[in-house]
A and B are shown apart, each in its own frame.
Chain A
Amino acid sequence: MAGVCMRKPVPLCPRPTRPPAADMAREHENLAQSQAVYLESALGFPSDLVIKQISDSICLAFLEPIVDAAALRESVLEPLCRLDSDADLDLATIGGQLPVASVEQGADLDAAIEGLLDGKVALMAKGCEAPFLLDLRARVARQIAAPISQPSVRGPRDSFTERLSDNLALIRQRVRNRDLRVWETVVGSETRTRVAICYIEGRASQDVVDTMKQRLSQIDMPHVLDSSDLLPYIAMRRWMLFPPAAATERADRAAAGILNGRIAVVCDNSPFILVIPVQLLTLFHASEDHYNLSIHSVLLRTVRAIGWFAATIAPGLYVGLASFNPGILPPNAIMTLAAARHGVPYPPIVEVLIMDIALEMLAEASARLPTYIGGAAMVVGGLVLGTAAAEARLVSTVMIVVVAVTAIGSFAMPDYQNELSWRAAKYLYTFFAAILGIYGLATAGLIMLVYLCSMDVLGVPYLSPFAPWRWTAMAKDTVIKVPAPLGVELEKVQRKEEAEGTADAGTIS
């Protein structure tokens, strides 16, 4: 397994050398002013940096776009104007006089710069070596809306946003457990992105929690713009075919994960929360499964399984049957297949590649186009391309059906990352079918199985509860989702097994 290189966090990008405080004091009579000049020069005199002189001894600095202007006026400017300008300011005085959420004294001017970039207001006062930092952050964020990528017929409609505090609120509203823990860190030397993990102490495996904290603390990466950037560092694998975490924008799904002993990784600026560790089977479960009757859930999961099978196997099966093993079909089906392929100048593998690549292009195009055009483009592209290709005898009509089944099957998978993984795996099946027929399909299946068996996410087997066997988890919520009362009983058994070390944490979805 290829590990991801972790190093200790490095300092921020090059910055001006800070002159000793004594030198600055000599240059400027007022220490507050000299600190303000330093901040300005360190940030490169940006146009949105505001330096506001309140009095001879007090000076404020802040980045205007990311500071709450109303709060600044009411909670800082007005109270400061009422203060005695000659009074010595300390942390207790400021904390008592200014009604802001958080006041701290930075360790040095570098800490003040980081605070400014974080949206804090730096308050520099006479006689103070380092500025005070007032938390008046303002965020540009959208309102909470219905999930776009994971819609459901039943279930709650709220989804995560780009604001970390909103996302934590959505989780806390659902998990009102005194053991819910939230641990936060900052990653990305240039983006300084806040990342929080949420878990229930005593339910999530402590080993998994410790490993997660350690890996997040060791991330050495300049840019963290989305939660997906964290995945290789959390999973400690550079190359992964399958997602090690379930990325969800549904608050109910994240909460369910936490309640089941998993960890939710909330990344600022990302509406997708990572639920980790995850098993492959969980990626085939939809939130709705928990809102429907058990029988209905079984039906829907079976349909999804068939869809997955079709999406992965269908092209390879076509190649295998048409190229190697037509004999396993009934005679009429052989005739139909032969008639459909009559006049097609390519071997089946070329047919499959042409149509598969066309399908991938259509899917990619429809994802990039605006919603109201995307659907139409998909239909028109599919119909025109398919019909024209069949009429021109570039591909057989059976191939059109195969491609359609593949597309529908892949779209039936509820997790997008998982769908992409199996879309990629499909080519392995097709390749092996092209060299060994149906027997090759079985071989490709074994290769995929070995790969999946080798995967661990934070020490939890990816194919659990099927490999290794975890019978309680298997009985509770795999293909069959047992009714809630029975599920509660099975969950108790599983908690006991986890405590005894005979089950993996978080194998219940």
Chain B
Amino acid sequence: MQEPYLSWPEAAWLIMQYTICANYLFVPQMLYLMAGRSSWIVPLIAVVPAVVGSWAVYRLHKLYPADRLGQFLPQIAGRALGVVMGLLYCLFWMGGAAINTMLFAHYVSATVLGFTPLAVHALVNAALAVMVTLYGLKTLVRFTDALLFPIGLFLVFVWIGAILNGRLDFSYLRPVRISELFKEPLNLVMAAISLYHGYFVILVAGPALNPPGRSAFAAASIGTLLAVPAFVSFVSYPVALFGWPMAADFTYPAGSFMEMLAPEVPNFPIRRFDFILTMFFRFIMVIASVTYFYSAAQTLSDLASPDAERIHPALTLAMGAVVAMSYLLLTDLHSVLVFARVWLAIGTVLTLATITLAIWGALAAARGGGGR
């Protein structure tokens, strides 16, 4: 195995970006449908299951510090169940890659490149994911590190700039009605449980952590907590700016933050700078789609041949082709949102499964029968 090279701040940054991903484009609208004006509470409630999930991946990492998910799952759950569970994780990650890819393709198509076929967007994004995956985790981590500088500044600008320019009226967020949270309780619970699932990356990148052990928990929890302001702002700012229920009428509520940031002067070229905003969103989306794809490819590769040092290129290319072809199914935003609901359900199952595995593994280790 290679020398560990992933520090916990780098892992936390990766988890943060992975958690935010392209969720800013569809999560606000989905939550508005589920919980109305009070939906901004959901990202705060979701912190609780996320912290438990972070603890679960930390426990699993502590039990198997040198193994990835596809390598230790069969050891905990047995070969057959381990493979089934591993495939479920792969499905979730592939779904995440496809959602990110197609959601952003639709967004770009709707905003700046209306005449370019969706297939081209899907192919370009899938090719980028394949490229990074073929280079490996080290490249993915460095790629994410390098994007700190544009994305970090951008996020700070978005969060603080929007507040400072005085156009947000946070009174629109009130009153918080508990009844709104119970309109679709099952969906809302699932969304809350699986909203922050970026810490899953520890299951795949754990062996690269330096030092191993507690840094996994630090990375998972801090990375997740760093994503909370982004989610809260993406859900609450449109309501605070446009009011309720106007914010819910936008196709991409958080897609035009420049509306919030633009100074109140005539002829300010909002569309011009919206373009730049799209570029920054793209950077975040790329990290997420690539991480989803890498996680799926690595896990599938580990399930097929646990001792292989590299992901098989043919397998990666085949999976990339699947993501690129997803444009045939996810033909519009509606189909993406329908698929996202199913995907969140899978995420909920996997979050609960991860917690169960951690407890199971910890008990087995206590009996002296598990871990390394």
Contact = CB atoms under 8 A, between A and B. Distances in A.
Interface of A: 324-325, 327-330, 435-439, 442-443, 446-447, 449-450, 452-454, 461, 463, 466-469, 502
A32 to B, nearest CB: 58
Interface stretch (B18-26, B58-66, B271-279, B319-327): B271-279
27 contacts: A324-B113, A325-B275, A328-B269, A328-B275, A330-B272, A435-B116, A436-B113, A437-B112, A439-B108, A439-B112, A446-B128, A446-B282, A447-B128, A450-B128, A450-B131, A452-B146, A453-B135, A453-B142, A454-B139, A461-B142, A463-B146, A466-B149, A467-B143, A468-B142, A469-B9, A469-B145, A469-B148
B77 to A, nearest CB: 34
B5 to A, nearest CB: 7
B166 to A, nearest CB: 26
A442 B272 contact: no
Interface of B: 5, 7, 9-10, 108, 112-113, 116, 120, 124, 128, 131-132, 135-136, 138-139, 141-143, 145-149, 269, 271-272, 275, 278-279, 282-283, 286
A437 B113 CA distance: 8
B148 to A, nearest CB: 7
- Counting chain A CB atoms within 10 Å of each CB, the highest count among B9, B143, B148 belongs to B143
Contact of B272 (A328, A437, A453): A328
Contacts, number: 83
Nearest to A453: B142
Contact of B135 (A327, A435, A443, A454): A454
A442 B108 CA distance: 13
A328 B124 CA distance: 23
A467 B120 contact: no
Contacts of B128: 443, 446-447, 450
A468 B10 contact: yes
Contacts of A329: 272
A442 B148 CA distance: 16
Nearest to B278: A439
A106 B275 CA distance: 73
Dominant secondary structure at the A interface: helix
Contacts of B278: 439
A443 B142 contact: no
Nearest to B274: A328
A449 B113 contact: no
B139 A450 contact: yes
Contact of B279 (A439, A453, A454): A439
B113 A453 contact: no
B7 A439 contact: no
Contacts of A469: 7, 9-10, 145, 148
Given A327-B272, A461-B142, 14 more contacts: A328-B272, A436-B116, A439-B108, A439-B113, A439-B282, A443-B128, A443-B282, A449-B146, A449-B147, A466-B149, A467-B143, A468-B5, A468-B142, A468-B145
A485 B286 CA distance: 41
Contacts of A439: 108, 112-113, 278-279, 282
Contacts of B139: 450, 453-454
Contact of B271 (A324, A327, A436): A327
Contact of A330 (B5, B7, B269): B269
A396 B220 CA distance: 54
Contacts of A436: 113, 116, 120, 124
A449 B143 contact: yes
Interface centre among B108, B135, B146 (most CB of A within 10 A): B146
Nearest to B127: A447
A325 B112 contact: yes
A290 B271 CA distance: 43
A42 B112 CA distance: 74
Given A328-B271, A454-B135, A502-B7, A442 B279 contact: yes
A327 B273 CA distance: 11
Contacts of B147: 449
Contacts of A327: 271-272
A241 B135 CA distance: 16
Ranked nearest first, the 10 interchain pairs of A and B with the lowest CB-CB distance are: A467-B146, A453-B142, A467-B142, A467-B145, A454-B135, A454-B139, A328-B272, A453-B143, A442-B279, A453-B139
A144 to B, nearest CB: 41
Contacts of B272: 327-330
Contacts of B113: 324, 436-437, 439
Contacts of A502: 7
A322 to B, nearest CB: 15
A449 B286 CA distance: 12
Nearest to A462: B142
A242 to B, nearest CB: 15
Contacts of A449: 143, 146-147
A503 to B, nearest CB: 11
A446 B286 contact: yes
A443 B128 CA distance: 9
Contacts of A447: 128, 131
Contacts of B279: 438-439, 442
Contacts of B5: 468
Contacts of B142: 453-454, 461, 463, 467-468
B272 to A, nearest CB: 4
B124 A443 contact: yes
A139 B371 CA distance: 67
Contacts of A450: 128, 131-132, 135, 139, 143
A454 B290 CA distance: 14
Contacts of A437: 112-113
Nearest to B143: A453
Q: With a 10 A CB-CB cut-off, give which of A328, A438, A446 has the most chain B CB atoms.
A: A446
A472 to B, nearest CB: 14
A436 B278 CA distance: 14
B275 A438 contact: yes
Contacts of B145: 466-469
Contacts of B149: 466
Contacts of B275: 325, 328, 438
A329 B132 CA distance: 33
Contacts of A325: 112, 275
Given A436-B120, A450-B128, A442 B143 contact: no
Contacts of A443: 124, 128, 282
A277 to B, nearest CB: 15
Contacts of A467: 142-143, 145-146
A329 B138 CA distance: 39
Given A453-B139, A454-B139, A435 B120 contact: yes
Q: Which of A328, A329, A330 has the most B CB atoms < 10 Å from its CB?
A: A328
B146 A453 contact: yes
